[in-house]
Structure 1
Amino acid sequence: MAVPQLYYFTIRGWGEYIRLLLTDNKVQFEDIRYVYGGKEWEEVKRTMILGQLPCLKIDGKELVQTGTIMRHLGRKHNLNGSSEEEATFLDMIFEGVRDVRMKYVRFIYFDEGTREEIVNKTLPECLEKLEKLFQTHSGDFIIGNKISYADYALFEELDVYYHLDAHILDKFPGLKGLWERMWERPNLKAYLEKRKADGVWISAVEKGMK
Structure 2
Amino acid sequence: MAAKPKLHYPNGRGRMESVRWVLAAAGVEFDEEFLETKEQLQKLQDGNHLLFQQVPMVEIDGMKLVQTRSILHYIAEKHHLFGKDLKERTLIDMYVEGTLDLLELIIMHPFLKPDDQQKEVNLTLIVKKAKTRYFPAFEKILNDHGEDFLVGNKFSWADIQLLEAILMVEELDASVLSHFPLLKAFKARISNIPTIKKFLQPGSPRKPPADSHYVEVVRGILQF
Match in the other structure for 1:94: 96
- The equivalences for 1:132-147 within 5 A come to 132-147=140-155
Is contact 1:54-1:64 (8 Å) kept? yes
Match in the other structure for 1:28: 29
Is contact 2:96-2:158 (8 Å) kept? yes
Q: Which amino acid is 1:159 matched to?
A: L
| In 1: Cα distance, 2:93 partner to 2:147 partner | 18
| In 2: Cα distance, 1:185 partner to 1:51 partner | 36
- For the structure 1 residues 199 and 23, does the alpha-carbon distance in structure 2 shift closer, same or farther, using more than 3 Å as the test? closer
2:129 pairs, out of 116, 122, 138, with: 122
| In 1: Cα distance, 2:77 partner to 2:86 partner | 12
Aligned residues: 204
Match in the other structure for 2:222: none
1:202 pairs, out of 193, 200, 209, with: 209
Moved more, 155-164 or 67-76: 67-76
For the pair shown, the structure with the greater C-alpha radius of gyration is 2
Shift of 1:9: 2.3
Match in the other structure for 1:44: 44
- The equivalences for 1:155-194 within 5 A come to 155-194=163-202
User: Structure 1: which 4+ aligned runs deviate by more than 4 Å?
Assistant: 204-207
Match in the other structure for 1:8: 9
Could you list the per-position Cα deviations for residues 178-210 of structure 1 after superposition, in whole angstroms to 9, with x for gaps in the alignment? 2222322222323312158x9933336599xxx
Given the alignment of the two structures, is residue 63 of structure 1 paired with residue 71 of structure 2, yes or no? no
Shift of 1:63: 1.1
Identity rate, percent: 29
- For the structure 1 residues 15 and 136, does the alpha-carbon distance in structure 2 shift closer, same or farther, using more than 3 Å as the test? farther
| In 2: Cα distance, 1:76 partner to 1:199 partner | 21
- For the structure 1 residues 115 and 75, does the alpha-carbon distance in structure 2 shift closer, same or farther, using more than 3 Å as the test? closer
Is contact 2:6-2:30 (8 Å) kept? yes
Q: Which amino acid is 1:22 matched to?
A: L
The DSSP-based 3-state class of the residue aligned with 1:63 is: strand
Is contact 1:25-1:187 (8 Å) kept? yes
Q: Which amino acid is 1:13 matched to?
A: G
Could you list the per-position Cα deviations for residues 142-188 of structure 1 after superposition, in whole angstroms to 9, with x for gaps in the alignment? 11431111221111111100100111112122222222223222223
- Mark the runs of 5 or more structure 2 residues left unpaired by the alignment: 113-117, 216-224
Is contact 1:13-1:202 (8 Å) kept? no
| In 1: Cα distance, 2:173 partner to 2:80 partner | 34
Which structure exhibits the higher relative contact order, with contacts defined as CA atoms closer than 8 Å and separated by 6 or more residues? 2
> RMSD across aligned C-alpha pairs, in angstroms?
2.7
> TM-score by structure 1 length?
0.82
| In 1: Cα distance, 2:174 partner to 2:142 partner | 20
The DSSP-based 3-state class of the residue aligned with 1:182 is: helix
The DSSP-based 3-state class of the residue aligned with 1:31 is: strand
Match in the other structure for 2:80: 78
| In 2: Cα distance, 1:19 partner to 1:117 partner | 27
> TM-score by structure 2 length?
0.77
Match in the other structure for 1:18: 19
- For the structure 1 residues 200 and 2, does the alpha-carbon distance in structure 2 shift closer, same or farther, using more than 3 Å as the test? closer
| In 2: Cα distance, 1:153 partner to 1:97 partner | 7
